[in-house]
């Protein structure tokens, strides 16, 4: 039985981790960290857990937690994880960090986009970028995994194979993304009040969103040259779900079958990637509550571009589900353990 601790368990991603781990038969949650609700009943904060979780929220104490847990999930603001980890902690407990602290190999990129000094840069080289479908073997060996961002996961998985196979021009990539509001977290802001989000659509973080360099770094590895993209996130009035519409210029004449063949080469044995049939577009409603990423594409011969589309649940494959998938790999379990979640509709 793996003992798991969660720091930041009362955020939306933290709460989703709780939901998933409660259904994972090899895991027991031993620590519900929450700075805002110290000493309150967890099920008083998340009433869906009434009678399922009897625990009390605990203040952050990573030292004590590392003694109690085999794995620590940090679903915390940027900079937090980097400020706490050290050799002692890492020797006692594996870390899966849901923040951006260890997602970049180049610390300057992190510091430039996040405006935070990195407090544990000595662990950057060791940390593994936990996009399982791409770094599976490295994750298995790792004690420190940087869980990818939600937009990032969706974007990279769509584009990676075509870039790697030199089907598209890396300098023409535009990612137009739409996200449900749970991605904005449970903090209280006017911008995420019901009446502000409901019945509206908006772009935000245009040309400045922090997931941009994260996508670029991974795509550059695939391309073998530096890739710079446009990334525009939009806020949509749904709770869960990310949809990516990505555009790129094709570098050669290809048929739908040619492209599908490449996707299959990379993903046909992946349990969480579903390559949709021709002319079927992904919809977030079909992946809600599950760890799936649905991927499809369309060729436009008029413009010689490809439109790549994908959908995932930002709290599952975009956060907690992927974290559990990483945990499974790190502990030598079946990668899909606890993640056989049938999408819930409607």
As annotated, the active-site residues are: 150
- Residue 38 near a second copy by CB under 8 A: no
The answer to whether the CB of 143 falls within 8 A of the CB of 95 is yes
Report d(CA 59, CA 73) in Å as an integer.
15
Name the one residue in this structure whose structure tokens are 């400020």: 83
Stretch in the footprint of a second copy (CB under 8 A) among 69-77, 96-104, 127-135, 190-198 = 190-198
Half-sphere exposure of 32 (CA within 13 A, CB side): 26
Region of residue 261 (left: phi > 0; alpha: psi -120 to 50; beta: else) = alpha
User: What does the alpha-carbon distance between residue 48 and residue 58 come to, in Å, rounded to a whole number?
Assistant: 19
Does residue 287 bind a second copy (CB under 8 A)? yes
Q: Do residues 154 and 214 touch, judged by C-beta distance below 8 A?
A: no
Q: Does 286 bind a second copy (CB under 8 A)?
A: yes
To the nearest whole angstrom, how small is the minimum distance from the Cβ of residue 181 to a second copy? 4
Residue whose CB is less far from a second copy, 189 or 252: 189
Rule CB under 8 A: which of 73-112 touch a second copy? none
Residue 118 Cα distances to 88, 285, 336, angstroms = 19, 38, 33
Largest CA distance in the chain: 62
Q: In this complex, which beta carbon is closest to a second copy, that of residue 225 or of residue 345?
A: 345
List 96, 197, 320, 327, residue binding a second copy (CB under 8 A)? 197
Q: For residues 28 and 285, which CB has a smaller minimum distance to a second copy in the complex?
A: 285
Q: How far is 329 from 346, CA to CA, in rounded Å?
A: 31
**What residues from 229 to 248 belong to the interface with a second copy (CB under 8 A)?**
229-230, 232, 234, 236-241, 243, 245, 247
Is 46 a binding residue for a second copy by CB under 8 A? The answer is yes
Of 17, 309, 312, 339, the one binding a second copy by CB under 8 A: 309
Bridge-based pairing state of the strands 94-97 and 128-129 = unpaired
List 138, 196, 220, 221, residue binding a second copy (CB under 8 A): 196
- Under the binding rule (CB under 8 A), the answer on residue 207 touching a second copy is yes
Candidate residues 87, 199, 257, 269; the one interacting with a second copy per rule CB under 8 A: 199
114 touches a second copy by CB under 8 A: no
Tell me how far, at minimum, the Cβ of 27 lies from a second copy, in Å.
Answer: 13
Q: Whole-angstrom Cα distance, residue 85 to residue 83?
A: 6
Q: Which of 256, 258, 280, 334 touches a second copy by CB under 8 A?
A: 280
The count of chain residues that interact with a second copy, using the rule CB under 8 A, is: 80
In a 3-state reduction of DSSP, which class is residue 41? Answer: strand
- Contact positions with a second copy (CB under 8 A) in 326-345: 340, 342-345
Chain-centroid distance, C-alpha 278: 26
């Amino acid at each position: 039985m793996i003992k798991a601790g969660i720091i930041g368990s009362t955020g939306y991603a933290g709460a989703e981790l709780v939901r998933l781990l409660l259904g994972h038969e090899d895991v027991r949650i031993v620590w519900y960290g929450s700075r805002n609700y110290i000493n309150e009943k967890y099920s008083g904060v998340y009433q869906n857990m009434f009678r399922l979780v009897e625990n009390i929220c605990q203040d952050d104490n990573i030292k004590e937690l590392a003694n109690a847990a085999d794995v620590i999930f940090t679903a915390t603001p940027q900079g937090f994880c980097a400020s706490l980890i050290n050799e002692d902690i890492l020797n006692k407990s594996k870390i899966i960090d849901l923040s951006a602290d260890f997602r970049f190999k180049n610390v300057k990129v992190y510091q430039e986009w996040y405006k935070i000094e990195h407090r544990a840069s000595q662990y950057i080289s060791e940390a593994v970028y936990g996009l399982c479908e791409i770094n599976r073997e490295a994750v298995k060996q790792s004690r420190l995994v940087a869980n990818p961002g939600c937009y990032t996961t969706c974007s990279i998985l769509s584009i990676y194979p075509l870039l790697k196979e030199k089907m598209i021009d890396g300098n023409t990539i535009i990612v137009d993304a739409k996200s449900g509001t749970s991605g904005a977290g449970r903090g209280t802001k006017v911008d995420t009040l019901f009446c502000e989000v409901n019945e509206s659509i908006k772009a935000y973080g245009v040309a400045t969103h922090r997931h941009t360099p994260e996508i670029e770094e991974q795509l550059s590895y695939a391309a073998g040259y530096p890739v710079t993209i446009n990334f525009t996130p939009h806020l949509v009035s749904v709770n869960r779900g990310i949809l990516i519409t990505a555009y790129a210029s094709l570098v050669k004449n290809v048929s739908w079958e040619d492209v599908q063949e490449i996707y299959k080469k990379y993903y046909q044995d992946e349990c969480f990637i579903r390559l949709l049939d021709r002319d079927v577009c992904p919809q977030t409603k079909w992946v809600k509550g599950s760890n799936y990423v649905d991927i499809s594409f369309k060729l436009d011969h008029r413009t010689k571009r490809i439109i790549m589309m994908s959908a995932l649940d930002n709290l599952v494959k975009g956060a907690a589900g992927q974290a559990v998938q990483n945990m499974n790999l790190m502990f030598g379990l079946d990668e899909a353990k606890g993640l056989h979640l049938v999408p819930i509709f409607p």
